[in-house]
Amino acid sequence: MALDDNPGWWMLVNLNRDYTDYIAASSVVVAYDWALTFGQEVDLVWRQRWSSMTALFLGLRYIGVLYAAYVCLTSRCRASDRSFTISVFVFCEIINSALWCTGFVVNGMLGVIMITRLFAMHQQSRKVLIFLVVIFLAITIACGVIVVIETGQILGEDLILPGTHQCLIGGNIRLAAEYWLLGTAWEVFTLCLVLWSVVKHFRELHEPWTRWTIGNCFTVLVKTHVLYFASFATVSCLQLGYLSPAILDPINVGTRTYGGVLQIFSLVQMFILGPRLILDVRKYYAKIVAKSDAGIAMTPIVFHESVQESTSSTMATPEGILGDPAKNITR
């Protein structure tokens, strides 16, 4: 539709143009983090024995790079390009459906990483693992149904104004809110399990027959999880904020900033802090190996062990679970 004389439509056009600037900024942030940590990635991921955690890390990392580049390029194209051979709004519907599905897949990968970390933090308890898997599958199935319904309800409309050709995308805001509520419930649940493991950790420190040999690594796990949770909570709150009519008002200048901040935090949460859930643990483990003397053997899988009188001691590390093989240093 062409509505050249309606100032409200021009306000919406300016909103969309400002939003593409925020998309470009968020893409630069992801690319900068990738360049900044690429050396660590080569040493701690590419040069190590490959595992399921390696695949998850690389999946998150390079889906993030491609995602950032894709949304940046397509947002620029759909803002002004009249040369599409298909309808602009059909093009936008396809993009938005793909982005919804990408977010669903990425959150699924992050959920698997979180289950693995909690499994390690709770001393490989099968009961905890089964409980986590059941809860995660239930939430994932519910979110999958929401994604299918939401992508089927995405609507687009051509907006033709002098010098621009844009599409307006609409969807079910209530369904989007339910999706994020389910995701938030999962993150709160995992945070509670982390806090539970912290309590157990400090209790075991006072027992004479047991010790946590990599206490600092446990601290790294807790810190990275809390930072990731804070980022996810911020994104979730911003997403739920769209339930407010004031946020949806295109005339409101704050709407532009609101959407841009949400875009930046979303990419940081998924594609920067997500991969760091693995990378930071591996980085700490590499420091431990580098500082270990020749009398300590590094054995993976468990976090703690009984102190035994022996000619050699064994130090436990989470890397057997989070991705790296054991690195043995003989006396």
From first to last of the 331 residues of the chain, give the pLDDT tens digit. Answer: 444 555 555 555 556 666 677 777 888 889 899 999 999 999 999 998 888 999 999 999 999 888 887 776 665 554 444 444 445 555 566 767 777 888 899 999 999 999 999 998 888 889 999 999 999 999 999 999 998 888 777 655 555 454 455 555 556 677 888 899 999 999 999 999 999 988 887 777 665 444 444 456 778 888 899 999 999 999 999 888 887 777 766 556 677 778 788 888 999 999 999 999 999 989 888 888 787 744 444 444 333 333 333 333 333 344 455 554 334 333 3
Count of domains observed in the chain: 1
Find where tokens 């300016």 sit: 14
Residue 94 lies in a domain: yes
Written as six digits, the tokens of 271 are 């594609």
Q: Which residues pair with 113 in a beta bridge?
A: none
The domain in which residue 299 lies consists of 7-322
Residue 328 lies in a domain: no
Q: What is the pLDDT of residue 307?
A: 33
Q: What is the pLDDT of residue 74?
A: 61
Measured between alpha carbons, how far is 121 from 202 in angstroms, rounded to an integer? 13
Reported residue count of the chain is: 331
DSSP calls for 239-306: HHGGGSHHHH-TT-HHHHHHHHHHHHHHHHIIIIIHHHHHHHHHHHHHHHHHH--TTEEEE-S-SEEE
Residue 327 lies in a domain: no
Q: What is the pLDDT of residue 84?
A: 43
pTM of the model: 0.78
Residue 170 lies in a domain: yes
Residue 331 lies in a domain: no
Measured between alpha carbons, how far is 45 from 38 in angstroms, rounded to an integer? 10
Measured between alpha carbons, how far is 316 from 302 in angstroms, rounded to an integer? 6
Exposure string of 202-211, with b = 16+ CB inside 10 Å and e = fewer, is eeeeeeeeee
Going from the C-alpha of 268 to that of each of 29, 57, 71, 264, 283, the distances in angstroms are 8, 15, 15, 6, 20
Q: What is the pLDDT of residue 211?
A: 46
Residues 6+ apart with CB under 8 A from 33: 271, 272
The neighbour count for residue 189, using CB atoms within 10 Å, is 16
Written as six digits, the tokens of 89 are 């709004």
Residue 178 lies in a domain: yes
Q: Residue 122 maps to which CATH number?
A: 1.20.1070
Q: What is the pLDDT of residue 168?
A: 54
Residue 329 lies in a domain: no
Q: Which residues pair with 164 in a beta bridge?
A: 161
SS3 at position 212: strand
Q: What is the pLDDT of residue 255?
A: 72
Residue 2 lies in a domain: no
The neighbour count for residue 17, using CB atoms within 10 Å, is 16
Find where tokens 């949304």 sit: 71
Measured between alpha carbons, how far is 99 from 109 in angstroms, rounded to an integer? 15
Asked if 296 contacts 329 with a C-beta cutoff of 8 angstroms, the reply is yes
